[in-house]
Structure 1
């Protein structure tokens, strides 16, 4: 009987630890850090950039993709136009608040889609390129917070669990520098805690408006050897015409 009670007691401790949530103070600190990762970036208001992707898959030649992205970060407006390869030129995506469409220039038709859709055959999701500090509190709850090191950098390690259907993954772990709130690494997990994807952000550049991640490496953890490298260039912060965020704009490009 004593052994049974001991086992039950141990089980009770395990269940309590497994279901325990972080305190409200820790959760608030974690959300403030996540929001700071958006604040230090250069993407405020309107911006445009060229996104170049190199997709690597075992047994296949490297695939090069290129997109032009336009975003108005304070209004949930985003337009993405594919520039390369030539066969897919003009393929587009349009976001207006929570409505997202993909555009096929051949059929000239729009299809309602999801923020979870991938860009071409890459490992990048549409929500990866969205810049919005409101997304953290709106879509996640804080599961864990700790401090550690990543390479030479002391980091905050924050685990967020999705509470809405908008995030592409059930849970994500973020490694953020403690001196400057720059995200260095992200790990994305399934609902069963299986590692699905890893994102590394080894290079940042400082511009007058803030920091820009000029290189990212996105690894598919389910298909070993499969990864996408992303490079950002031609970044501008000029006010964009309203017409860029319309279906007519995408239709008029072809």
Structure 2
């Protein structure tokens, strides 16, 4: 899944179904699915509001010591801008990430230089990519809905929505989202390869409400290929305070140290 948070930060109210044909929903699939995904995504991008948060990663692998990483994240979806600074561990402190449009740059504070990177690149030894934490993209650019049904996930009634990639941008060829039927909160996501193999399962057991948005405070990413490996994402210190323009510049990342 290219962007975890764009599917996870949601509004309470679900809009009415489309009346026009939806080009991103294949024939035979209820077009209500597209409306649900739109509601999830629109709210995740926060309109014209700036968004910042502290993101902690806890990485667990069999027979290895638990690793921890921490980042400060800044997002301005209205201008397709995203930046992130590593706070921990100390050895990597000051590593910066900057997206401006289609470009993603990574700043090395030791070598004091930038390198061009991809949103698909993993953060350290985790199961999390930069794209997982970036809410700026839209599902309609990269996916088509190929399946839609109702089911149960534990005690929750859910819509089960299958999306398949129509470009090479997504990290996974297919994802299946489990969205609550009472309001569009994603509880689970399954990420599949092009040959249909389950690669990763993501669970979202906890949310908090800030500024009218439901934001996940805990995301568990389970590696289905390397059993026993998982990354837990903890989101805290959420804010919608205006962010200075300089935060979305290379100069800011160079001088933050």
TM (norm. structure 2) is 0.86
Structure 2 counterpart of 1:128 = 132
Structure 2 counterpart of 1:216 = 219
Structure 1 counterpart of 2:165 = 162
Match of 2:27 among 23, 37, 41: 23
1:40, distance to aligned residue in structure 2 (A):
4.6
Q: Which runs of 5+ in 1 are unaligned?
A: 1-20
Task: Decide whether aligned partners of structure 1 residues 206 and 242 sit closer, same or farther in structure 2, where only a CA change above 3 A counts.
Answer: same
Q: 3-state DSSP class of the match of 2:170?
A: coil
Provide the rounded CA distance (Å) in 1 between the counterparts of 2:182 and 2:63: 41
1:206, distance to aligned residue in structure 2 (A):
1.6
* Bigger helix fraction: 1
Is the Cα–Cα contact under 8 Å of residues 42 and 212 in structure 1 kept in the other structure? no
1:24, distance to aligned residue in structure 2 (A):
7.0
Structure 1 counterpart of 2:12 = none
Question: What does 1:200-211 align with in structure 2 at a 5 Å threshold?
Answer: 200-211=203-214
Structure 2 counterpart of 1:69 = 73
Q: 3-state DSSP class of the match of 1:106?
A: coil
Is the Cα–Cα contact under 8 Å of residues 55 and 233 in structure 2 kept in the other structure? yes
Provide the rounded CA distance (Å) in 2 between the counterparts of 1:42 and 1:154: 25
Instruction: Please tell me whether residue 242 in structure 1 is matched to residue 237 in structure 2.
Output: no
The higher radius of gyration belongs to: 1
Is the Cα–Cα contact under 8 Å of residues 59 and 231 in structure 2 kept in the other structure? yes
**Which deviates more from structure 2 when the two are superposed, residues 111-120 or residues 40-49?**
40-49
1:22, distance to aligned residue in structure 2 (A):
3.4
Pairwise CA RMSD: 1.6
Q: Which runs of 5+ in 2 are unaligned?
A: 1-24
Provide the rounded CA distance (Å) in 2 between the counterparts of 1:89 and 1:195: 34
Is the Cα–Cα contact under 8 Å of residues 198 and 218 in structure 1 kept in the other structure? yes
**Which deviates more from structure 2 when the two are superposed, residues 192-201 or residues 34-43?**
34-43
Q: 3-state DSSP class of the match of 2:140?
A: helix
Structure 1 counterpart of 2:19 = none
1:108, distance to aligned residue in structure 2 (A):
1.1
Any idea what the Cα deviations from partners look like across 1:66-100, whole Å, max 9, x if unmatched?
00000001221000110000000011111001111
Structure 2 counterpart of 1:38 = 41
Provide the rounded CA distance (Å) in 1 between the counterparts of 2:154 and 2:46: 27
Task: Decide whether aligned partners of structure 1 residues 238 and 99 sit closer, same or farther in structure 2, where only a CA change above 3 A counts.
Answer: same
Any idea what the Cα deviations from partners look like across 1:162-196, whole Å, max 9, x if unmatched?
11111110111100001010000000000000010
Structure 1 counterpart of 2:93 = 89
Structure 2 counterpart of 1:79 = 83
1:220, distance to aligned residue in structure 2 (A):
0.7
Structure 2 counterpart of 1:104 = 108
1:127, distance to aligned residue in structure 2 (A):
1.6
Match of 1:49 among 28, 50, 53: 53
Provide the rounded CA distance (Å) in 2 between the counterparts of 1:220 and 1:127: 17
Structure 1 counterpart of 2:232 = 229
1:125, distance to aligned residue in structure 2 (A):
1.4
Provide the rounded CA distance (Å) in 1 between the counterparts of 2:34 and 2:28: 10
1:41, distance to aligned residue in structure 2 (A):
4.7
Is the Cα–Cα contact under 8 Å of residues 54 and 62 in structure 1 kept in the other structure? yes
